[in-house]
Amino acid sequence: MSIRFDDRVAIVTGAGGGLGRHYALELARRGARVVVNDLGANRSGDGASDAALTVVEEIRAAGGTAITDGGNVADHEQMTAMVARAREAWGGVHILINNAGVLRDKTFAKMTPEDFSFVVQVHLLGSAYATKACWDVFREQNYGRVLMTSSSSGLFGNFGQANYAAAKLGIVGLARTLHLEGAKHDIRVNTIAPTAGTRMTEGLFPDAAFAAFAPEKVAPAALFLVSDDAPSGQIVGAGAGVVQASYITLTPGVALTGEDLSPEGVARHWQAITDRAGEIVPGSGAEQAMLIGKTLSTSEA
């Protein structure tokens, strides 16, 4: 089976570098016409550059078709204009990869309300605005593929990233709901939690790990999740060539009655309430990368 995107129009936000660049390049290589969206800002969301144009030129040099878009994902009107441009150029939009993001890491004690709201606005509201701009098009054509970007920090928590983690777990809730709402129109919505060495994570990985977690090793999972035969409603971890499935789980629980229906009863039954019978629940975002490392070590043994 060969996965192709001929006659598909794809939008990739934050595609001027890192993961988004590789998504855009590979979509184009497999036949898609690609809108390369990027403000060209640094990882804190400041400044601007022609990063998107550079990626478009790469695509065109390889024989593909692409246009740039400098719209801000946190501005719904600009996202609406981006989709209108894509439809005017190519007649429709079929795929959206919400990849744009920023980092403003600090402990919660030192984080300003402005830094908290800015990160949530870009990641969570930006994903919602870009998807909303595409949603009616997807419904009209009874076809759409949306990939949201979460993070191990959102799924499992990570020190110094309260703003980022809050946004990234919010994205999971958004994706799960849109998966349900879009099903009857063949709109499939998935979430990827990538672990990659990019400008966003530079300085967080040792040099050797940074190379091992190259962004092109995440792209195969991302492209599968926006393909014709993609599943829907999935949360997929990907990094260093390892692809994982992540689940939000719930224990059977304990029915509390009588005197046990009290805070003291919850305390008495806590072990049974939290018994997950062998399930693993990472205590921090770093454990996703650790599990990838373990899987890699096993395969190399």
Residue 282 vs residues 38, 158, 178, 209: alpha-carbon distances, Å: 33, 11, 26, 20
Residues 45, 122, 166, 175, CA torsion sign: negative
Say how many C-beta atoms besides its own lie within 10 A of residue 18's C-beta: 23
Which residue of the set 23, 143, 164, 247 is catalytic?
Answer: 164
Could you tell me if 201 and 43 are in contact, meaning their C-beta atoms sit under 8 angstroms apart? Answer: no
CA dist., res. 82 & res. 105, Å (int):
29
Known active-site residue 247? no
CA dist., res. 45 & res. 39, Å (int):
9
Question: Cα angle at 242 between 164 and 177, to 5 degrees?
Answer: 45
CA dist., res. 116 & res. 103, Å (int):
10
Residues labelled as active-site residues: 164
